A and B are shown apart, each in its own frame.
Chain A
Amino acid sequence: MKRRSFFKFGAGALAGAGLVPSASLAAGNPKVTIADRSNDKWLHLGTGKSTIPIRHKEVSYDVAVLGGGAAGICAAVSAARLGSKVVLVQDRPVLGGNASSEMRVHLNGVNRLNTGLAERETGIIEEMLLHNRFENPQESFPVWDHVLYDFVMRENNIELMLNTQGIEAIMDGKNIKQVRCWQLTTEIEYLINAKVFIDCSGDGLVAATAGAEYRTGREGKAEFNETFAPDKPDGWQMGASLLMSAKDMERPMPYEAPSWAIKYDAEKAHKRRKFNAYHEGIWWVEVGSDDDIIGDQEINRHKLMGYLHGVWDYIKNSGKFPESENLALDWVGSLPSRRESRRFIGDYIHSERDLTGYKDFTDAVAFGGWGIDEHNPGGMDNIQLAPTTFHAHFDEVYQIPFRSLYAKSIANLLFAGRNVSQTHIALASSRIMATCALMGQAVGTAAHLCIKKNTTPRSLAKNHINDLQEQLLRDDAFIPKRPANDPLDLARKASEILASSTSSGNPKFLTNGMSRDVDGNINHWQSKNLPANMQLEWLDPVLVSKVEIKCDTNVKRNIMMRKDSKNDEFFSNSIPQEMVKSLAVDARIKGQWMQVASLQKNRTRLIKFDFKQIRTTAIRIRILETYGKPAVKLFEVRAYS
């Protein structure tokens, strides 16, 4: 039986039943609505009137972000915070994408380089993870959904649309003018106008309908001289996985597989299909495709459920896992977490040698460092193959260029996540969610700058890349080998930087442009004890209204939420003890120190103060307390008028 004919339902059948809007009638035409409800015969008993439901709305924003996973959230928040009006469109009832409670994939990043240490992502993604540590110490996945909801909803400039999918781009020449969206829960068709569009949806439906060039499958070795690529190109795309978790019920829990379970063939299975911590899910329960992986998603979803229950049946009933006797399935995913589908083409295609050669890009805006982790073609359909091959691990992080993050042929379209301009091999490393999040912050920032400068992403790359990089660095995104050098930063013009005590580093390092210890260099100042203070002195008075500080959260240790709540030298399950908890800022006015700002329960690495502008020759920062460490470590201080 062929895969395509296995699944009986299709969009056509549903359309015939009137359950799906007739998108084909409206294709590309903003004047035709798919939400025409003039046939409704609705008697509203409350008002006594017959009426037609209004199910069409046209709205306008500066930036439209499609996709509310880690990349989309960071794109939306970065643009919104800089002042753009943003809509974030997410086709699920929860935010988070693969990391949400619906799929529960760990939000990994550069967890571990060959040094053995993490080189953790900072910026908005770190802020999200820290927010979760404060709001969700119980480490519940459904609560994490709400943490992300709060993270987005508290931003003034973001309109969040859940249960809404962008289904079609409406063009004006080479620009996307509008995106047609369908909100499942309200039957509302939205026409979203925006100046810039960012597709972080993974599959990139809107980008595809806009006519952005894309490809699927694996490049052959020759195209980009990739040593890990197959000899010849083929259609294989890494698959989606379905996870589960099991609970100890403290009594024997028999299990009988459903009729559609697919028996696990242990004899044929590759020996690297291991069952470590199986009660937290098995990542290699995966199904890929060498063809239309998006078109086959429902078929593959059903197959994944069959494989999942087949594997669980093997665990429970093969006799090889006696400790599983009391275990029962507690949560089972129904929505597969996807790894690969469309990859759109930008002005640059990121490839293997850019990663393994640590290429230095003048337009670097993000970084990655997870190993080149290529899952086997077909997943469980080729169970005899090793589930993954780690082709390479990295000594240091690699750069991601901005030119890979916008469409080559659509003037106002950017990407972030697994759909960016890269080869299959590069994707095998960069698909990790925290890396995608960094891309998201980069393109959200870029979108805002495009609007501010009335330009396109391509022109931004060519003429204003420095502005983009400086804004990212200011917002605590780390760009490898790219120190900050903001001419507006008054702290860099201080003639003296001093501190009450120093146990390592130097207060003068706080304006050297590097916001972490990296490449074997120290770029911090650490006090001997607390309270501690550091002070900036200018020869001539300056006007200051903003002070921004980057404190330590130990970027060599991971802080994402994990099912096993790991807490060791590499993973933390709580608020970083290094982080500053309370501090104050003083300015010297006529020889007297006056407090201009303070914060008692800080929750972020990047601490920003905004106060009434003052004229002064000295600023003092008093750090009163951390979340546990007896001394404070800072990486950067900035001041702006």
Chain B
Amino acid sequence: MKNILGFAVVFIGLVACAPANTPDTLSIKHNVSFYHAASKTGKQESNIVYELTDYDKEANSSRYYMDVSSVYCSEDVCKVDTVRLFWDELGRYTKLSLRPDVKLEKGNAEDFEQQDYQKLDDILSNGNSDLASLHKDQLVAPQSGGNAVDALTGATIAIRKTDYIKGAIWTCYTLWHFANGEVVDIIRNISGKRKTVKELRSLLVINDVHYQLFALQQLTKRTDISKDTLNVIERKLEQGDNAFFNGAINYLSILSEKDFNASVTQFLLINNSELRALILENLVNNNRPINTEFYTDIAKSLVKWREYQDVKQFLNVLEQRNIENKQINEALSGLLTHENFVIARGVYWYLKQQPADNLDSQILDDFFLQHQRRL
């Protein structure tokens, strides 16, 4: 009796007020399309995300839900149930619910047990699950009767036991990719549109990194290129807030050439190798036209850089983008007297590869005479 009551408590705890498939009049419907990793067709699928209008922000309760199939089964022989998944306004999974008469099934047509539901909730909450990198072809096709297998094709994949329920890997895989897949960004964008630019900017400075990153992402989408936003971003980068780096690099992409160049030059002065690496990688891969004045300014600022790793990466950018310019080389020549001789030498060898009319060869000859023993 005690176990049944305990199960009921857990089960109720997972169930929302409006069980799956119940008509909902308190929410806004959003028609959405997205790809699902377990999809048989490989095409986008359509569904409806419901936005609850009575959600409690202070309590950070669920704001969105969607009814999904419990399992994508390639042979159409699985027992498929409808599961309602919930997310908060940042697109983070919060819980799932089932109709009271529905029990999820695992291998050999066995019902989920109490602890299975709890484990499933934990699995869906883990954004870093091994399920993320698993391809559906690596899962054995479920045998008749449902989720009969938890083995993997070719026995070549090792997946942590905490990332799946024995006998129900297809269900775990299907639901995880619903909960943590493309729907997440769709939800974030819906939430973002509900906020003004001013509200998003204010989120940049609250004491919650998830909201900060959300705000940065949405401001990037809204192409908000205000000085205020830029100043906040720069401050966070100077503080070494690593979580902000990737978001900041994405933000750079919406800036005009002038603002981009100014911001990058400024950001590169921050003595953080990880940040520099991200920015320099962006310089290699972005499609912006090459502005030699911009690269000259960076080259001039290199005298303040302390790590050879960073200088070398800048030189790599020049090489990969085929940037050969006399002004840039002149600026780089300033590093031939850098206190870190490895930097000076690295620059020397770089300049030695440059076309003769793009540099002052006398400077290089002098450097060679002085340091030939150490080259």
Contact = CB atoms under 8 A, between A and B. Distances in A.
Interface of A: 495-496, 498-499, 501-502, 507, 537, 539-541, 557, 565, 567-569, 572-574, 588, 590-591, 617
B341 interface: yes
Contact of A572 (B158, B161, B281): B158
B312 A568 contact: no
A574 B158 CA distance: 11
B320 to A, nearest CB: 11
B309 A499 contact: yes
A574 B155 CA distance: 9
Interface of A is mostly: loop
Given A501-B277, A502-B277, A537 B158 contact: no
Given A495-B342, A539-B341, A591-B375, 6 more contacts: A499-B309, A501-B281, A540-B374, A541-B373, A569-B158, A588-B349
Contact of B349 (A557, A567, A591): A591
A557 B160 CA distance: 12
B308 A568 contact: no
Interface string B200-222: 00000000000000000000000
B160 A569 contact: yes
Given A540-B374, A541-B374, A591-B349, A498 B156 contact: no
A565 B158 CA distance: 13
Contacts of A573: 155
Interface in B21-57: none
Nearest to B345: A617
A557 B158 CA distance: 10
Contacts of A495: 342
Nearest to A593: B349
A569 B375 contact: no
Contacts of B157: 567
Nearest to B161: A569
B316 to A, nearest CB: 8
Interface string B144-168: 0000000000011111110000000
Contacts of A540: 373-374
A574 B152 CA distance: 14
18 contacts: A495-B342, A496-B308, A496-B309, A498-B308, A501-B277, A502-B274, A502-B277, A537-B342, A537-B345, A539-B342, A540-B374, A557-B158, A567-B156, A567-B157, A567-B158, A569-B159, A569-B160, A574-B156
B352 interface: yes
Interface string B304-321: 000011001000000000
Contacts of B281: 501
Contact of A539 (B155, B346, B352, B374): B374
A537 B156 contact: no
Contacts of B277: 501-502
Interface string B170-199: 000000000000000000000000000000
A496 B157 CA distance: 38
B135 to A, nearest CB: 13
B189 to A, nearest CB: 28
B361 to A, nearest CB: 14
Contacts of A569: 158-161
A304 B156 CA distance: 37
A568 B374 contact: no
Nearest to A541: B374
Instruction: Please indicate which of the listed interface residues A496, A541, A573, A574 has the most CB atoms of chain B within 10 Å of its own CB.
Output: A496
A86 B156 CA distance: 39
B249 to A, nearest CB: 14
6 closest Cβ pairs, A-B complex? A498-B309, A591-B349, A567-B155, A496-B308, A496-B342, A537-B342
Interface string B338-359: 0001100110110011000000
Given A537-B308, A540-B374, A591 B352 contact: yes
Contacts of B160: 569
Nearest to A630: B133
A591 B349 CA distance: 6
A331 B309 CA distance: 59
A617 B374 contact: yes
A568 B161 contact: yes
Contacts of B158: 557, 567-569, 572
Contacts of B308: 496, 498, 537
Contacts of B346: 537
Contacts of B352: 591
Nearest to B308: A496
Nearest to A539: B341
A8 to B, nearest CB: 50
Interface in B315-345: 341-342, 345
Contacts of A507: 309
Contacts of A568: 158-159, 161
Contacts of A572: 158
Contacts of A502: 274, 277
A540 B374 CA distance: 5
A499 B308 CA distance: 11
Nearest to A494: B342
Interface string B355-375: 000000000000000000111
A502 B312 CA distance: 14
